[in-house]
Structure 1
């Protein structure tokens, strides 16, 4: 098995994983993030993107060759 982190993946794979992570974060924490963004006058999309990137580094990527 080979263990990789997000930075070791190609650009297309990174973009797909970021999209999946974004959807996951929005599904789990979307309402909380919206409320936080409104309260602190932040851009929701920027906040969602930052949380999606943080979420990516909590994943473990394992490939069987």
Structure 2
């Protein structure tokens, strides 16, 4: 499965600018002003290795490219 090799990817870095989620609690998995490595990206989501140490997909609105 392709998603199992995502942790080895490095497509750039992003910085978290906010964790203001409307539906889900994002503040446990992302820290404001911390940088994360992008492992995959779609039109709507950025996939990063979050605070849990696993790959998570989040809306692009939480991030700013570095």
TM-score (norm 1): 0.26
Which structure has the larger Rg?
1
Structure number having the greater helix percentage: 1
Larger RCO, structure (CA 8 Å, separation 6 or more): 1
TM-score (norm 2): 0.26
